[in-house]
Chains A and B, each alone.
Chain A
Amino acid sequence: MQLILTEDQTLLSRTANDFVMGAPPIARLRKLRDTRDERGYALDRWAKMAELGWTAIPFTEQDGGLGMGLAEVVLVTEAMGKGLAPEPYIPSIMLAGRAIALGGSAAHKASWLRAAITGEKILALAHTRRQGRFDLARVPVRATPAGGGFRLTGQATQVWGGYLADAYVVAARTAGQDGDREGITLFLVPAQAQGLASERQHRVDSQNVAQLTFNDVDVREADVLGGTGQGHALLGRVVDEATVALAGEMLGGMTEALDRTLTYLRERRQFGVPIGSFQALKHRAARLYIELELSRSAVMAAARALDAQSADAAQLVSLAKARLSEAYCMVANEAVQMHGGIGMTDEHDIGFFMKRARACEMTFGDAAYHRDRFAALGGY
């Protein structure tokens, strides 16, 4: 495993940064929030991201993709994290798209995956519920056999990218008890399915999340992804990949938050000098920089380990998410503190990073969850 970027990867990273940071990115997010935009992201930006090829990165050429991996994905999400770009890359591509790529039939791929890659259709994964915390075995929906297929009931919350999505991959329990790994099945459910209702939820980070209510939604046997009752492993793999993609986003966010703070420390003057000349602030800024460098190594290693399917890949995923969860929140908190009063105002952009940092921390498991998982995988 080489922890460096190839020339192609350096180029991709540069293109991604130029695209995301080209238009004032936080002003764009602010406008989406203030106008209460129903999607919370811009379809035309999403179409451009698809045009740039980003949505095709993690899929095989046979599936209409570019045959690249997480090492490339994290460069895209890192750029998106710098600009807090709210487009549904992780939900539509890394979660639902990858679930279809790994567990879907040729028909699923033809009707949904290709359209997700071109950006015409938006997909999302419904696997979280109010009391589930981060346990993937505690799924939000119950599926009972009905008419040769299944009937879904239950409620999924904070489904990322889920409002106005075109179809959902739904994690449902077809057998066993809540918390069992066996007996979970993933279904592909179109948004127009009878009995499925979607409501926009409003979160601190202004991103598109939805509450989905399944009121006797009938699905066909043919819409099972992977095997019936075998969904836990597929869900686990897809969430691990998306976790690394999210860690990439978090790396970008903390890089930008620290960068903006350093600029402020150089420019803001008090007592007749730039506040960045005060050792109390210098040392804290240097500590944040150390966290940033360690975080970058963790993200690069986790991405490459998943691409290579190394034996310790799952541990490295947890290593990355645990570190990034704590480091991004720490950088964001310190960024607001070092900006002083102006950092507390809605008018200033730095607060957006603190809000997004918390949302990222609470997605796919926080640091405590991933330390526990790292230890369990290590056999202690």
Chain B
Amino acid sequence: MTDVESFRAELVKFLEHELPTQLGELPPPTGDYWGGRKPELPHPQSRRYCELMAARGLTAPTWPKEYGGGGLDKEQAKIFLAELRRLGLPLPLVGFGLSMIGPTLLQFGTEDQKREHLPKIVRGEIRWAQGYSEPNAGSDLASLAASARIAGDEIVINGQKIWTSYADKADWMFGIFRTDAGGKKQEGITFLLLDMAQPGVEVRPIKLISGASPFCETFFTDARAHTKDIIFGIGKGWTVAKALLGHERTMIGDVFGAGAGARNTVATGNPLAELAREYLGDRDGRIAEPVLRDRVAQVSMDERCFALTTQRSADSLKAGHKPGPESSIFKIYGTELNQRRHELMLSLRGPACLGWEGPGFDERELVQTRDWLRSRGNSIEGGTSEVQLNIIAKHVLGLPD
């Protein structure tokens, strides 16, 4: 048996036999588990499932073993994800620990910092929030003003962050704060980690146009952090912050890219076409409204093409090439494509797309309304489309400032 085969056999034994023996009922493939000190359980067994997977490093399959990761190479990680899909199992754990601060610590953290924070992320013990944007520092992030004053081993923090996703549910925050107000604005910024369970930190959820509150305002009044939790040194936070934004954009691009790809294979058919049939009817095997049929084809083709582009980028990485310039387009194209998809779904449903709540609308229509409104934020969060275009123009096309 080759190494790959024995790896798969071992994994399947664990997933198919050990897990069910230990857990009885397994969680369904939908419903994300975010972990944390006060975890929300999408399924009664979500926490146990996460812990059993974490014991084998499978919540962070590619991280090094010494920090609790699985130590898998890319091919093994691919097999792991494929087996989860095959068995209809969810990812054991999601969150900004795994997707954002973890990779950043692996890149910039000291040995002590990695040993302190990474295992807790892997085990799902700490849920993280991102403290970046401020009311007056959005696209111009480097102009941030929330201050961090060093006082011996301690850091005293004052000011405000905004758009901190799920801050009301998070335990720790990674963020950027101003340690020096003089000089170039990028130079006085420090990247640090702090525990949010303290009197100086107050969190208020923000209600969005979709009615949901995934984002918060976070206020700091003499909040405390420790100098040992400064990442990469005082005044060097901008470098770390930019690298982390890279991880964030990759994550957002992946989400939309993979989603688009999965939606449009020969095997799964085309959900947009099915929706069109349901609301518009069918004439001689074709969607009855030719103009909307053309739009269904257009969006479906664009989704397919986007999925091919993310595949091309992944193939190139697997072949050992550096990330190509094509990866810079994922965030902007993926999010705008998702918006076009939602707008097309509104058109296909017609007036039924307007339901907010109550009778006369079915559940899918009501969910669609909220999803459409939420999708408008995709091209704003994580760097607006306009900022992405600036980045492409400058770094890929070499156009002058």
Interface residues of A (CB under 8 A from B): 2-4, 262, 265-266, 273-274, 276-277, 279, 281-283, 285-287, 289-290, 293-294, 296-298, 300-301, 311-312, 318-319, 322-323, 368, 371-372, 374-376, 378-380
List 23 A-B pairs, Cβ < 8 Å. A3-B311, A3-B312, A3-B315, A274-B400, A276-B399, A277-B399, A283-B389, A285-B397, A286-B388, A286-B389, A286-B390, A286-B392, A289-B396, A293-B329, A294-B333, A298-B308, A301-B308, A319-B305, A368-B294, A371-B297, A375-B296, A375-B300, A379-B269
Give min CB distance, A315 to chain B, whole Å.
8
Given contacts A293-B329, A375-B297, A378-B300, contact A4 B266 (CB under 8 A): no
The answer, yes or no, to whether B197 is at the interface (CB within 8 Å) is no
- CB-defined contacts of A375 to chain B, threshold 8 Å: 273, 286-287, 293-294, 296-297, 300
A371 vs B291: C-alpha distance when bound (angstroms): 11
> Are A323 and B399 closer than 8 Å at their CB atoms?
no
Closest to A265 in B: B399
Given contacts A262-B399, A285-B397, A375-B297, contact A290 B332 (CB under 8 A): yes
- CB-defined contacts of B294 to chain A, threshold 8 Å: 368, 371-372, 375
> Are B397 and A322 closer than 8 Å at their CB atoms?
no
> Are A266 and B300 closer than 8 Å at their CB atoms?
no
Starting from the known contacts A311-B266, A319-B301, A323-B305, 10 additional A-B residue pairs (CB-CB under 8 Å) come to A4-B319, A262-B398, A266-B399, A286-B389, A294-B309, A301-B308, A371-B301, A375-B300, A378-B300, A380-B296
Closest to B264 in A: A378
- CB-defined contacts of A285 to chain B, threshold 8 Å: 393, 397, 399
Give min CB distance, B120 to chain A, whole Å.
38
> Are A374 and B392 closer than 8 Å at their CB atoms?
no
> Are A371 and B309 closer than 8 Å at their CB atoms?
no
Closest to A371 in B: B297
Give min CB distance, B164 to chain A, whole Å.
29
Interface residues of B in 318-346 (CB under 8 A from A): 319, 321, 325-326, 329, 332-333
A368 vs B291: C-alpha distance when bound (angstroms): 11
What is the interface of chain A mostly: helix, strand, loop, or mixed?
helix
The answer, yes or no, to whether B270 is at the interface (CB within 8 Å) is yes
Given contacts A290-B329, A290-B333, A322-B301, contact A2 B276 (CB under 8 A): no
A323 vs B329: C-alpha distance when bound (angstroms): 17
- CB-defined contacts of B315 to chain A, threshold 8 Å: 2-4
A152 vs B193: C-alpha distance when bound (angstroms): 82
- CB-defined contacts of B285 to chain A, threshold 8 Å: 379-380
Given contacts A282-B389, A286-B389, A372-B297, contact A266 B398 (CB under 8 A): yes
One of A287, A297, A311 near B312 (C-beta < 8 A): A297
A286 vs B328: C-alpha distance when bound (angstroms): 10
- CB-defined contacts of A2 to chain B, threshold 8 Å: 315, 319
> Are B266 and A286 closer than 8 Å at their CB atoms?
no
* Most chain B CB within a 10 A radius of its CB, from A262, A301, A376, A378: A378
> Are B308 and A286 closer than 8 Å at their CB atoms?
no
- CB-defined contacts of B400 to chain A, threshold 8 Å: 266, 273-274, 276-277
One of B298, B305, B312, B398 near A4 (C-beta < 8 A): B312
A301 vs B12: C-alpha distance when bound (angstroms): 33
A311 vs B265: C-alpha distance when bound (angstroms): 11
How would residues 366 to 398 of chain B score, 1 for a CB under 8 Å from any chain A CB and 0 otherwise?
000000000000000000001011101110111
A282 vs B390: C-alpha distance when bound (angstroms): 7
- CB-defined contacts of A296 to chain B, threshold 8 Å: 312, 326
One of A286, A300, A368, A379 near B393 (C-beta < 8 A): A286
> Are A277 and B401 closer than 8 Å at their CB atoms?
yes
> Are B273 and A379 closer than 8 Å at their CB atoms?
yes
> Are A294 and B301 closer than 8 Å at their CB atoms?
no
Closest to B301 in A: A319
A276 vs B392: C-alpha distance when bound (angstroms): 13
Give min CB distance, B256 to chain A, whole Å.
14
A-B pairs with the 4 shortest C-beta distances? Answer: A282-B393, A3-B312, A380-B273, A286-B392
The answer, yes or no, to whether B304 is at the interface (CB within 8 Å) is yes
> Are A289 and B397 closer than 8 Å at their CB atoms?
yes
Closest to B277 in A: A380
> Are B397 and A286 closer than 8 Å at their CB atoms?
yes
* Most chain A CB within a 10 A radius of its CB, from B285, B301, B309, B333: B301
Give min CB distance, A123 to chain B, whole Å.
33
A285 vs B390: C-alpha distance when bound (angstroms): 10
The answer, yes or no, to whether B63 is at the interface (CB within 8 Å) is no
The answer, yes or no, to whether B21 is at the interface (CB within 8 Å) is no
A2 vs B318: C-alpha distance when bound (angstroms): 10
A283 vs B392: C-alpha distance when bound (angstroms): 9
Closest to B270 in A: A378
Closest to B333 in A: A290
Closest to B401 in A: A277
> Are A283 and B276 closer than 8 Å at their CB atoms?
no
Interface residues of B in 274-309 (CB under 8 A from A): 276-277, 285-287, 293-294, 296-298, 300-302, 304-306, 308-309
Closest to A312 in B: B266
- CB-defined contacts of A318 to chain B, threshold 8 Å: 301
- CB-defined contacts of A378 to chain B, threshold 8 Å: 270, 273, 297, 300
* Most chain A CB within a 10 A radius of its CB, from B269, B305, B315: B305
Closest to B329 in A: A290
A2 vs B316: C-alpha distance when bound (angstroms): 9
Given contacts A282-B393, A380-B293, contact A371 B399 (CB under 8 A): no
Closest to A287 in B: B389
- CB-defined contacts of A262 to chain B, threshold 8 Å: 397-399
A286 vs B398: C-alpha distance when bound (angstroms): 11
Interface residues of B in 147-175 (CB under 8 A from A): none
Closest to B396 in A: A289
A281 vs B277: C-alpha distance when bound (angstroms): 41
Closest to B317 in A: A4
- CB-defined contacts of B329 to chain A, threshold 8 Å: 289-290, 293-294
A282 vs B398: C-alpha distance when bound (angstroms): 10
- CB-defined contacts of B297 to chain A, threshold 8 Å: 371-372, 374-375, 378
A298 vs B266: C-alpha distance when bound (angstroms): 16
A24 vs B364: C-alpha distance when bound (angstroms): 59
* Most chain A CB within a 10 A radius of its CB, from B266, B269, B319, B386: B266
> Are A374 and B399 closer than 8 Å at their CB atoms?
no
- CB-defined contacts of A4 to chain B, threshold 8 Å: 312, 315-316, 319, 321
- CB-defined contacts of B286 to chain A, threshold 8 Å: 375-376, 380
A141 vs B203: C-alpha distance when bound (angstroms): 77
* Most chain B CB within a 10 A radius of its CB, from A266, A277, A293: A293
- CB-defined contacts of A380 to chain B, threshold 8 Å: 270, 273, 276-277, 285-287, 293, 296
Interface residues of B in 192-248 (CB under 8 A from A): none
